[in-house]
Amino acid sequence: MILSLKHKIENITAVGKRIAPALKKLGVLTAEELLNYFPFRYEDWSQVKKIEEVEAGTTATVKGQIEIIQNKRSQWKKRLVTEAIVSDETESIKAIWFHQPYLTKNLRPGDQLFLSGKVEDKIGELQFVHPNYEKVSRYKQEMTHTARIVPIYSLTKSVTEKQLRYVMSQVIGLATYLKDWLPESVIKKNNLLPLSQAVRQIHFPNDQQNLNRALERIKFDELFTVQMRSGLAKRALQQTLAQKIEFKEKETKKFVASLPYSLTKAQKITGWEIIKDLGRNKPMNRLLEGDVGSGKTIVACLAILNTVLNHEQCAYMAPTEILARQHYENITKLFAGWPIKIALLTGADKRANIAIKDDKEIYKLITAGKLDLVIGTHALIQAKVNFDKLALVIIDEQHRFGVGQRKALKQKNNDGTIPHLLSMTATPIPRSLALTAYGDLDLSVINEMPPGRKEIKTEIVPPERRPEKYKFVLEQIKAGRQAFVICPLIDPSDKLGVKAVKEEYEKLDKKIFPDLPIGLMHGKLKPQEKEKVMRDFLETKTKIMVSTPVIEVGIDVPNSTMILIESAERFGLAQLHQFRGRVGRSQEQSYCFLFTESNNVEAIRRLQTLAQCKNGFELAERDLEFRGPGEVYGIRQSGYNDQLKVAKLTDYIIIKKSKTAVEEILAQDEKLNQYPLIRERLKKFELEVHWE
Ligand code: ADP
Ligand code: MG
């Protein structure tokens, strides 16, 4: 049978009926897709040793001849064991495999073979336990499972590494027919391997150097593609129109002067960047990045004020109902005395700062253009929400939204304009990462905190020091402060953590602080109940609020200066930093207590990092070291990580090179008329991406 790249996998003889369904599950339908299914790591078995050089406790590859091979029952557990004695000119060694009796049919005394695997010392005798084995072929290059750098794929249960490697070895020859979609000039300038060679080497590398070059080429391709995509998106956006928002200088100054504090320098700079963007007739697409508590809301308000004074509408989307309500209440207060009509729109809670008959009227007023600012949750993207003239969309904690949800709000207006978009995130993504991950966004960074904030004292608290901390909390509360207690979701059957948080509440309420009023917050409460819990806490009617992680983002209760996090080791660094950001919002000294019973070295090290690192950006860099960029909070949700199968956001040099290549191409041919293969690749990429 002559194979082609388009060949369906079930028609490839080597694949067979049994493996085809497993491959389909992995999203592999054709020979070409199989070639594009890259290993996620490698085992280097390329060094072939003499048997006498092999040492216990190491891994090794040897080449030898089978002397004896037979099946046995082990004495202990009656397991079926295949034992072989293999020797070379220096020594012989035993190899054992469990539950593979058919081996004696494939391997015969006299066969020359390679063994690769772990060598153990069994009562003074060395042996290979479950090694990879492969008969010696004439050319070393032809070895698939041993005596080479061996690819390891991520697989489902119904296919083994060995099976997939075999199938891959049968189709790898097709790599020759892959069309190289990168322009020759880019390949030359960046000294890249041609595509077919890179694909061949990424599966079956000749050596480490070739593997590195293959990886570099494939990474380049991935990073080139995402950057080309955002480059095009950015250009496309420039082709569209937005409402020009005239800067109302006098009113803006008056508003700023009415605040109980002065804006920080960073707030002024970022505010000005945004106002300048709004003043153009091209849609703004800006990410406002600032650490937790750095004061992003007020910067957004400057944009809102100017938009509304231009008689245009704004939408403000927050990820949780609690946060949306908080914004509604705070922003309504901030704009008291200004002619700004504001509504709150969440699934269960709808209201406005003007008289309305019922919920339905809110939708009507939005459509009639009679509400200036609508603050809400995902409820804002329902079909029945139709703005008359939406000029500004603000997305708070944007990393909590899917790309699709973010896009949905950017509807077109009747006059054909597109709203300006301001995304905000407290997830401090290192700048280099942000620029790649959100390549089509402009970036504004608030790089300082409001003055007078004290460093939050962060401490890891082992069980024996709990009583001492509770005593401290009680004293602080008596001095007028308040505290949050965060409980993780412990029991998987308890998806919303309701059980865990109730237990904690009972304990604190009955045993630890019987004299204090305590509130209980979780996602299962009705909206009115949530609101009451929040309000009681804000008005200091309750002194402690026990909560599930629902209050992770955005919540602002400046008088609460303590946060106690239960089983802190269960949370990621960025998430812990977000929790910690709930306190330290006033001039009082704040505290973050990380309760943990864990002795896990890695976990403790992570918590220590949090205790030492107060700056979110620094923390994000450290997080990056701990977990790699794929896991860093915010990036994972960017819809971006899916597309980087091999490349990492820390591949700075390749990021830079591919970005330059993209810019050069777009500068010269922004429609990609001369690059049909790039267009084709982008189209495919668009289909594969999971934009949620
Ligand atoms: P975040 O950036 O996390 O969204 P917020 O906008 O919620 O932060 O602001 C945090 C707190 O800081 C709020 O209580 C807000 O009123 C206050 N704040 C904002 N800007 C300043 C400032 N320049 N000086 C003092 N306090 C400020
Ligand atoms: Mg915020």
Mean pLDDT, rounded, of the chain: 88
Cα 319 to ligand 1 centre (Å): 18
Cα 88 to ligand 1 centre (Å): 74
Q: Is the pLDDT of residue 628 over 60?
A: no
CA distance 293 to 424: 12
> Is there an atom of ligand 1 within 6 Å of 298 CB?
yes
Could you identify the residue written with the tokens 């199968």?
645
Residue 437, H or E segment: helix 431-437
Q: Which of 137-151, 159-173, 193-207, 497-511 has the lowest mean pLDDT?
A: 137-151
Q: pLDDT per residue over 285-318, tens digit each?
A: 999 988 888 999 999 999 999 999 999 999 999 9
Q: pLDDT per residue over 320-343, tens digit each?
A: 888 999 999 999 999 999 999 999
User: In this structure, which amino acid lies at residue 49?
Assistant: K
The confidence band for 437, taking pLDDT boundaries of 50, 70 and 90, is low
Return the structure tokens found at 498. 């309701």
CA distance 115 to 131: 6
Cα 691 to ligand 2 centre (Å): 25
User: In this structure, which amino acid lies at residue 129?
Assistant: V
Cα 319 to ligand 2 centre (Å): 11
Question: Between 265-278 and 296-309, two packed helices, what is the crossing angle to 10 degrees?
Answer: 30
Atom of ligand 1 nearest to the CA of 446: 2
Please check whether residue 511 is in contact with residue 542, taking contact to mean a CB–CB distance below 8 angstroms: no
634 to 440, 467, 548, 575: CA distances (angstroms): 16, 36, 20, 10
Q: What is the pTM of this model?
A: 0.74
Express as a percent the part of the chain with pLDDT over 90.
59
Q: Which ligand is nearest to the CA of 292?
A: 1
CA distance 518 to 502: 12
Q: Is the pLDDT of residue 415 over 70?
A: yes
> Is there an atom of ligand 1 within 6 Å of 293 CB?
yes
Q: Is the pLDDT of residue 469 over 60?
A: yes
Q: Is the pLDDT of residue 650 over 90?
A: no
Is 504 or 553 the better-scoring residue by pLDDT? 504
What Rg do the C-alpha atoms of the chain give, in angstroms? Answer: 31
Q: Which of 37-46, 341-350, 636-645 has the lowest mean pLDDT?
A: 636-645
The confidence band for 643, taking pLDDT boundaries of 50, 70 and 90, is low
Q: pLDDT per residue over 486-514, tens digit each?
A: 998 766 676 666 778 899 999 999 999 99
Q: Is the pLDDT of residue 140 over 90?
A: no
| For residues 657-678, average pLDDT | 94
Please check whether residue 426 is in contact with residue 616, taking contact to mean a CB–CB distance below 8 angstroms: yes
Q: Is the pLDDT of residue 567 over 50?
A: yes
Q: Which ligand is nearest to the CA of 558?
A: 1
Tell me what pLDDT residue 432 has.
60
Q: pLDDT per residue over 330-389, tens digit each?
A: 999 999 999 999 999 998 889 999 999 999 999 999 999 999 999 999 899 888 899 999
Q: Is the pLDDT of residue 692 over 50?
A: no
DSSP letter for 435, please.
Answer: H
Q: pLDDT per residue over 213-259, tens digit each?
A: 999 999 999 999 988 988 898 888 889 999 999 999 999 999 999 99
Closest CA to 59 of 132, 4, 157: 132
Q: Is the pLDDT of residue 391 over 90?
A: yes
Residue 98, H or E segment: strand 92-98
Which residue's alpha carbon is at the smallest distance from atom 22 of ligand 1?
450
The confidence band for 638, taking pLDDT boundaries of 50, 70 and 90, is very low
> Is there an atom of ligand 1 within 6 Å of 264 CB?
yes
Tell me what pLDDT residue 430 has.
62
Q: Which of 283-297, 430-444, 501-515, 538-552 has the lowest mean pLDDT?
A: 430-444
Calculate the CA 161 to chain-centre distance: 28
Tell me what pLDDT residue 601 has.
87
> Is there an atom of ligand 1 within 6 Å of 426 CB?
yes
Please check whether residue 36 is in contact with residue 194, taking contact to mean a CB–CB distance below 8 angstroms: no
Please check whether residue 94 is in contact with residue 32, taking contact to mean a CB–CB distance below 8 angstroms: no
End-to-end CA distance of the chain: 40
For the ranges 8-22, 560-574, 641-655, 677-691, the maximum mean pLDDT occurs at 560-574
Tell me what pLDDT residue 639 has.
46
CA distance 272 to 278: 10
Task: Kindly give, in sequence order, each residue whose CB lies less than 8 Å from that of residue 140, ignoring residues fewer than 6 positions away.
Answer: 147, 148
Cα 41 to ligand 2 centre (Å): 40
Calculate the CA 498 to chain-centre distance: 26
Please check whether residue 333 is in contact with residue 327, taking contact to mean a CB–CB distance below 8 angstroms: no
Q: Is the pLDDT of residue 161 over 60?
A: yes
Closest CA to 134 of 195, 64, 211: 64
b/e per residue 109-140 (b: at least 16 CB within 10 A):
eebebbbbbebeeeeeebbbeebbbbebeeee
Mutate which of 262, 268, 298, 557 for ligand 1 pocket (most atoms within 8 A of beta carbon): 298
Please check whether residue 658 is in contact with residue 224, taking contact to mean a CB–CB distance below 8 angstroms: yes
Return the structure tokens found at 585. 């919002």
Which residue's alpha carbon is at the smallest distance from atom 17 of ligand 1?
295
Tell me what pLDDT residue 397 has.
83
| For residues 7-30, average pLDDT | 86
* Helix (H/G/I), strand (E/B), else coil: 428: coil
Tell me what pLDDT residue 401 has.
73
Q: Is the pLDDT of residue 425 over 70?
A: yes
Residue 567 neighbours by CB distance under 10 Å: 17
Side-by-side strand order, sheet with 482-486: 457-461, 591-595, 560-565, 482-486, 544-547, 518-521
Cα 300 to ligand 2 centre (Å): 10
Tell me what pLDDT residue 479 has.
95
DSSP letter for 646, please.
Answer: S
> Is there an atom of ligand 1 within 6 Å of 295 CB?
yes
Ordered domains of the chain (ranges, CATH): 1-42+160-174 (no CATH), 47-147 (2.40.50.140), 249-279+295-425 (3.40.50.300), 457-613 (3.40.50.300)
E strands present in 616-688: none
The confidence band for 632, taking pLDDT boundaries of 50, 70 and 90, is very low
Q: Is the pLDDT of residue 406 over 90?
A: no
Q: Is the pLDDT of residue 642 over 70?
A: no
Tell me what pLDDT residue 626 has.
66
Residue 435 neighbours by CB distance under 10 Å: 18
